[in-house]
Amino acid sequence: MKIGYLGPKGTFTHAAVEAVFPHILNVPYHTIPQCMDAVRDGEVEFAVVPLENALEGSVNLTIDYLIHECNLPIVGEIIAPIEQHLLVHPSQLDDWKHIKRIYSHSHAIAQCHKFLHRHLKHATYEYVTSTSAAAQYVSEHPKENIAAIGNRLAAKQYGLAIAKENIHDYDYNHTRFIVLHRERCLLPVKDQEDGFKTTLMVMLPKDQAGALHQVLSAFAWRKLNLTKIESRPAKTGLGNYFFIIDIDQKMDDVLIPGAIAELEALGCTVQLLGSYPYYTVKKTSLV
């Protein structure tokens, strides 16, 4: 059995996979779409990709590729703490305050804006596919006055030095990663899950007054607790959006099917993206 993840080695996604699936062979993919395609095409059984960060919000590429391009069920979720460090080639360690360019994933740079503004105002940013791709680039260009933002695993993997630890702007920094499979299934995980969620995609009927209010009522009067509601462009015209709704429980026989039926009766299109266990990774079990 194989698990694909957003690579190369040393991403936060890699750390999350190793924490929850230590016994399964993992395979890095360069981009989030490549990772999802690998499951769809049967190269790997599961894929783990980032979905949402507590400081920066959703990873839009993951949501959009899942909805528009690669319809795979969500079968699990991993919530992991994120600590960002400023990584440099060891030969640049004494000179880190004069770094000219910083490489990282856009989310990682956004999580450190206050630090960057205060300490590296003059530096420019270069957005790459992941934090470890940034670390790899820095390690391959020892003569350039550059740095990466990433984790300890990447520093170790690519032989970089940590110039400044914990440069993320807020202490509570966590990312949610989703696990995808070709069909709904139980996860090959030995640990006890921390809970369950159900995720729906809901498209409202066009131009109907109070439609969103009615959608929310379908959950409210059933006392279905929502942990997230987010809109994304349907990509069919200005003002056309779909909603991603997370419900704080497992699919049941009555309440969630009842809410879905009510939404459909209102003229909404509803798709069940998954009903799945989630696992919370502790700081100590990460890098």
Cβ closer to ligand PRE: 30 or 235? 30
Binding to ligand PRE by CB under 6 A, coded x per residue (else -) over 98-137, reads -------x-xx---------------------xxx-----
Q: Which is nearer to ligand PRE, 101 or 250 (CB)?
A: 101
Backbone angles phi, psi at 206, to 5 degrees: -70, 140
Task: Determine the 3-state secondary structure of 285 from DSSP.
Answer: helix
Whether the Cβ atoms of residue 36 and residue 65 lie closer than 8 Å to each other:
yes
Question: Kind of pairing, strands 241-247 and 195-203?
Answer: antiparallel
Query: Cβ 108 to ligand PRE, closest distance in Å?
Result: 4
Say if residue 8 is preceded by a cis peptide, omega within 30 of 0.
yes
Record the tokens describing residue 270, joined without a space: 């509803």
Instruction: Select from 285, 286, 259, 283 the least CA-distant residue to 272.
Output: 259
Q: From the CB of 263, what's the least distance to ligand PRE, in Å?
A: 30
| CB nearer to ligand PRE: pick between 131 and 275 | 131
Interacting residues with ligand PRE between 165 and 184 (CB under 6 A): 175
Choose, by CB under 6 A, the member of 59, 99, 224, 286 that binds ligand PRE.
Answer: 59
* Closest to ligand PRE by CB, 60 or 124: 60
To ligand PRE, the closest distance from the beta carbon of 197 in angstroms equals 19
Tell me how far apart the alpha carbons of residues 51 and 58 are, in angstroms, rounded to a whole number.
Answer: 6
User: Is residue 12 part of the contact set for ligand PRE (CB under 6 A)?
Assistant: yes
**Residue 6 found at the interface with ligand PRE (CB under 6 A):** yes
Cα(141)–Cα(22) distance, integer angstroms: 32
**Tokens 């809901």 found at:** 202
Which residues here bind ligand PRE, judged by CB under 6 A?
Answer: 6, 11-13, 50, 53, 59, 82, 105, 107-108, 130-132, 175
